[in-house]
Chains A and B, each alone.
Chain A
Amino acid sequence: MNSSYILRRVGYGLVLMLGVVVLNFLLIRLAPGDPAMVIAGEMGGATEEMLESIREEYGLNKPLVVQLGIYVGNVLQGNLGESFFFNQPVASLIAQRIGPTILLVITAQILSILIGVFLGVIAARKPNGVMSGFVSVFATIGYAVPVFWTGIMLIILFASVFPIFPVEGMQSVRLRGADVFTKTLDIAHHLILPAFTLAIIYLAQYARLSRASMLEVLGSDYIRTARAKGAAEKTVLFKHALRNAALPILTVAGLQFGNLISGALLVETVFNWPGMGRLAFDSILRRDYPTIMGVLFFASAMVVVANILTDISYRWADPRLRGKS
């Protein structure tokens, strides 16, 4: 792998993040009302001295360009502002919340890709078979269900009918003093419903996409070559075809990441999952703008990182791109 490509890709990612910072700044300035008030948060009950100190800190009396410079400078130093509701720096608030979100999003992503691709491959073997019909119906349904509603339905189902999974939070209070192993199991147990709720939409889409992609690949000449060698059907399907069909799936997986984070926001709210989405929701109700902007910044950063990883793995997976810059 060509390291100058990676460097360039990371550099571009940093430029995009700078764009997010500028956007955050513009949003605060464009919002109706006194920007100091916006920063303090409307429900903060900000006093006049507080507002004055904010104006001082952000240079709100100076020209716009200077303000932008100050804002960007702050962010570069890791200072995303202060949450006036929590009385804490936004960066440390998010640091506490980002872990659960990453756990939820990555688990959902892995679940949906593994199950979705498997269903799609099975369906592609018989393009007019029962499984193919199931996949396309399931994909259309999965696409149309509001994710928060799926979550609610699952809560109703598992809280009252089959109480086998916890429906709220990430850890059981009674296990506070337990050992790491028990705690990990407990988190995994709590993770099942939210992760599955989030995965189900994307699972359906991956199933449909991998079916289409596999059908396309299965018609190609090199598949016939593999069969002509005497390769078993399983080898043809999972080695020769899937390695190629995976390329468009990988692209979509990268593009979906932003949507996955949006979905996580709703799922966290429904399941009281203590992540960034829950934080964003609470902060929006409190009009705690520095925190909201911080979440937007970090969520975008997650998308940027995911995109870089996708691009790099795509180049690794497709030898035709490896040498190129």
Chain B
Amino acid sequence: MSAPRLSADRERCIGAGMCAMTAPDVFDQDPDDGLVLLLHTEPPAAHRAAARMAVGVCPSGAIAFHEPEPGGS
């Protein structure tokens, strides 16, 4: 598949909630510990721009987009 994949590192996350605020269709915060929860690892096209912005504003670098390998399968 060629959709970019998201990853979230709950060790780095500081629960600031920027992701859940910026891209609520893609990220949530765990109701107990407040840390990031991925709702989609491969966000649908409609939510990709918001997800990218969330990656940009996350204060702790806990979330990342992995582009598919250009020539990969």
Q: Do A and B come from one complex?
A: no
Report B's interface with A, CB cutoff 8 A.
Answer: none
